[in-house]
Chain A
Amino acid sequence: MAGTLYLFAAFSITWLIIFVYIFSISRRQKTLERQIEKISEALRDRL
């Protein structure tokens, strides 16, 4: 039974690490997209 607990811990920690990493990538991507939007808007206003 203890084995199952350790197994569960190992799998959940692994997936947690991977998902947090994917989430951080997608969040950074969103921030950049927003910046691009802002820049292009500012450029459109000037032209």
Chain B
Amino acid sequence: MTHNRAFLKVFQFVTFFMMLLALYAIFVYAPVEKSMGIIQKIFYLHVPSAFLAFFAFFITFIASILYLYKRDNRWDTIAFCSAEIGVIFCTIVLITGPIWAKPIWNVWWTWDPRLTTTLILWFIYVAYLMLRSVAGENRRSNFSAVFGIFGFVNVPITFLAIRLWRTIHPLVITGKGINISTPMIHTLIIAFVAFCLLFFWLLINRIGLEKMRLKVEEIRASIEDKIHLEHEKQGG
């Protein structure tokens, strides 16, 4: 336990340090991009968040399959926590995207395949979290595991359908390419590592919290059972 805690402390420190380093790299080290100007710096938040949102939902998918296969509650906890953090990152993507798009494309939103798929992804996992909160205790794990699988399998089909749907229309807005220079790539890598560390730090903490909640619930139930039994004895 103490070993674990020390590891977490170190992990937390490294995460914090990397986040500061990433901020430094984004605002001081990376040059201002030529065609988009300073706004391009959103890129360093947007891209890692998008990757992590997708990665988090992938973890949910794998953990859901493993849960149904192994019947081990640990996988259910991992699937749930990962989905929740994935929704957080997906929200960041969906907010920073339009803020970036507005000054560059002059619109907040376009129904481009990637944007639309991300939005649908967000809806699927918000539905996943809602399902967990309304489903009964004994069914929650099974339901959410099945929905976690359905939701993720649906993503490539959605992407294909939306791409086909949009390519028939003329593209009004096309993304301008970014002229990436070496310092920019360095910055992106640093931001990427920092966000990955943040993700895993959040995931570890969230899983720890969920485990603790389950434990407290378990203890409560067993105490209540005992009290009930004693009352019955006294009554009889």
- Contact of A13 (CB < 8 Å), options: B88, B95, B212, B223: B95
Q: Complex: how many Å from CA A35 to CA B41? A: 44
Q: Complex: how many Å from CA A4 to CA B45? A: 15
In the assembled complex, how far is the CB of residue B32 from the closest CB belonging to chain A, in whole angstroms?
A: 9
Contacts of B212 in A (CB 8 A): 29, 32
Q: Does A47 belong to the interface (CB within 8 Å)?
A: no
Contacts of A3 in B (CB 8 A): 36-39, 103
Chain B 77-89 per-residue mask, 1 if CB under 8 angstroms from chain A, else 0: 0000000010010
Chain A residues 1-47 with CB under 8 Å of chain B are 2-4, 6-7, 9-11, 13-14, 17-18, 21-22, 25, 28-29, 32, 35-36, 39, 43
Q: Does B140 belong to the interface (CB within 8 Å)?
A: no
Q: Complex: how many Å from CA A14 to CA B202? A: 15
Chain A interface mostly: helix
Q: Complex: how many Å from CA A44 to CA B82? A: 37
Contacts of B20 in A (CB 8 A): none
Contacts of B213 in A (CB 8 A): 28, 32
Interface magnitude class on chain B? 20 to 34
Contact status A7-B42, CB under 8 Å: yes
Q: Complex: how many Å from CA A35 to CA B198? A: 28
Contact status A32-B209, CB under 8 Å: yes
Contacts of A28 in B (CB 8 A): 209, 213
Q: Does B205 belong to the interface (CB within 8 Å)?
A: yes
Q: Does B91 belong to the interface (CB within 8 Å)?
A: yes
Q: Does B160 belong to the interface (CB within 8 Å)?
A: no
Q: Does B216 belong to the interface (CB within 8 Å)?
A: yes
A13/B220 contact (C-beta < 8 A), A2-B103, A32-B212 known: no
Contacts of B45 in A (CB 8 A): 10-11, 14
Contacts of B223 in A (CB 8 A): 39, 43
Chain B residues 102-121 with CB under 8 Å of chain A are 102-103
In the assembled complex, how far is the CB of residue A23 from the closest CB belonging to chain B, in whole angstroms?
A: 12
Beyond known contacts A14-B96, A39-B223: 12 more, CB 8 A cutoff:
A3-B37, A6-B100, A6-B102, A10-B96, A10-B99, A10-B100, A25-B202, A25-B209, A32-B209, A32-B212, A39-B216, A39-B220
Listed by A's residue number, 30 A-B pairs whose Cβ atoms lie within 8 Å are A2-B103, A3-B37, A4-B38, A6-B39, A6-B42, A6-B103, A7-B38, A7-B41, A9-B99, A10-B96, A10-B99, A10-B100, A13-B92, A13-B96, A14-B45, A14-B96, A17-B92, A17-B95, A18-B88, A18-B92, A18-B198, A21-B85, A22-B202, A29-B209, A32-B209, A32-B212, A36-B216, A39-B216, A39-B219, A39-B223
